[in-house]
Amino acid sequence: MEKNNRSIRIECPKLLITRNESDLQWLIGSPFFPPLTIISTFRCIHSNSSGPDFPKESEEIRTLLLKGFDVIGALIVGKSDPEKTAARAVEAARTLKKLLTGTTKLENEETIGAVADPDTGDIRFFLSETESSTSFELVNPVSYGDNPEKFVWESGCLLLCQLPIKLPLCYPVNKPSDAESIFSRAIEAVIAKFKDPNVVYLVEASNRGSLDVVQPVILRGSELDFDAAVANIELLDEAAHNSEKKLLQCAHFCLKSKSTLQLFSAENADIIQISVLLNRSEKSPKCSAPAVEYFAAMDETRLLIVDFKLEVLCYAVQGILLMHAISKLIIPGLIDQLISMKKMNLPYLLTQHPELHPYHFCPPGIAHPVTVIYELNYGETEMKQVDARRSLHLRLGLPFDRPLLRIANSLDLSIKSHSSNRSTRKGSSLLKDVHIGIPGSGVSGGSISLVQGSYEYYHYLQDGFDDSGWGCAYRSLQTIVSWFRLQHYSSVDVPSHREIQQSLVDIGDKDPAFIGSREWIGAIELSFVLDKLLGVSCKVINVRSGSELPEKCRELALHFETQGTPIMIGGGVLAYTLLGVDYNEATGECAFLMLDPHYTGSDDVKKIVNGGWCGWKKSVDSKGKSFFLQDKFYNLLLPQRPNRV
């Protein structure tokens, strides 16, 4: 049966459709969004012959998915009867949601069952209105949003709670097996404390770059509402003002006005900091001195201390009341994370405890953050960590050749002002991403392919070093190395001219006299240095003259779309860094986005862009002139992205 008065709204760039029949994906939504809105999908990666391994799936998704988002359905790839397949998807989604919420029955919750054709990729969406429903109604129409980040963050914010816990345990030496049950009871006692009437929640604004001063607010456990379900919470108008503490909204701690140039993203979202404090002295019936109770141990005991570093991130809309945000998002998030860490600690309780730390990521293609708990006893390149990241890449549909979930790529939740054109690397004051916001290329109907990720702009006379007239290829190489650093493929420092020369001597390409000289280097030397210092391989394209460069536009566009690294382009004694191409395949018209290392001025973005040191260069301009010399042989060095997660 078709249901025409409802519609599915998809606010994620892509659904992870594969050609594998029976492939299952969890559909993610939020109680804060309109019903039947899909914001992302997580692939089911634990299954057996009978279907999904629900305990494993729920355990991982409970950690990964921020409070404020929910599983609202499932999608199955298959060619069998669509309604029966949709029924399987709905049943799977409800089973998972019961495990995630700890309930045995879902009351009046609509659930989506989607069926995708493995050959065409066409998706049909069915709706089951309640758990007792036996019919599944086909839902039309399906609409796709064109700006998921704006949809999520225009009225959304993040709640952050960092809570270190040192948990002391005493267990009998002659009964070490009792340690596990003692540990479990201690965890249960901590969980109970989160809802204690004497617990105090301190709420503070963490607006980065804001001049507004918002006073902190204290909410006590006795003032919280633990009964209302998130879906039943009434959201207030964000513009409404109420001075009563219990009626304060999250909007009270968010920026009242934002720059129109500010991007909607998790990185730019308002963050509300929530601290947990235990107030033992409130309303004490009488004044008394501190008392110590002594309990004699019946057997020889050993003291064990387990460290937890909880860091819970939640999503909320600004219209939700603070008391609901704490009771329905923060506290359940703390409980879930504590239980997850307890399970990870249990096998090693009497040995070396794993050093666990939560990190939050917002990888490309997913409009909301996810949380991952990493075991820091292992280095990031050790196989246990690599395998863990591979599993996450598979679940989230991320490419396996990009280190998107390494710790260095986690969200920076510290309080600091935004500075869009300065490098984020500690100790560096270099400009980065200077091409952002430059004027268009002027190519009519062209398709633009650009460098992916951030880079630093290296040019003549930087660092007090005079390389004017000979160091342009060195500077282009430094820009390329900075790209690999900022994408966290490497922690190697950007090499100096002397270190570049030393590398070429070390591999036998140059004589020792080369060190300290002012000799030029070209594409081949750059490829040697990238291989030695970073383990990066390169592709070299040779072009006989500048007039032939437009013929390589399709190949260059493919490089930026698949590899995304900056390109060094050299001709004669000149070298540049190529950041993108704008190419009209039908007309052959093209332009090249050039970053010029020959610049000798101060690091002023406006001066650099207005002076043409970073901008589009057409193969042939309106006066018939070309930026590239027609009688020069050109080499293009295309660094390849390493296959690393």
What single-letter amino acid sits at 91? E
* Two tokens, residue 275: 């601290």
Q: What is the DSSP letter of 35?
A: T
Cβ count near 235 (within 10 Å): 16
Q: Nearest CA to 68 among 40, 43, 45?
A: 40
Q: Which of 196, 357, 598, 603 is catalytic?
A: 598
Pair 458, 497: CB distance under 8 Å: no
Q: Which of 70, 270, 433, 596 is catalytic?
A: 596
Instruction: Write the CB contacts of 8 (distance below 8 Å, at least 6 apart in sequence).
Output: 36, 37, 38, 112, 125, 139, 141, 142, 143
Pair 32, 153: CB distance under 8 Å: no
Pair 600, 459: CB distance under 8 Å: yes
Instruction: Write the CB contacts of 513 (distance below 8 Å, at least 6 apart in sequence).
Output: none
Cis ω on the peptide bond leading into residue 31 (within 30° of 0)?
no
Number of H helices, E strands in the chain: 12, 26
357 is a catalytic site residue: no
Q: Give the separation between CA 429 and CA 491, rounded to whole angstroms.
A: 18
Q: What is the DSSP letter of 437?
A: T
Q: Nearest CA to 479 among 464, 465, 462?
A: 462
598 is a catalytic site residue: yes
225 is a catalytic site residue: no
Q: Which of 161, 472, 553, 614 is catalytic?
A: 472
Pair 543, 619: CB distance under 8 Å: no
Q: Are strands 123-128 and 199-205 parallel, antiparallel or unpaired?
A: unpaired
**Is the CA virtual torsion 250, 252, 253, 257 positive or negative?**
positive
> Hey, which residues are catalytic here?
472, 596, 598
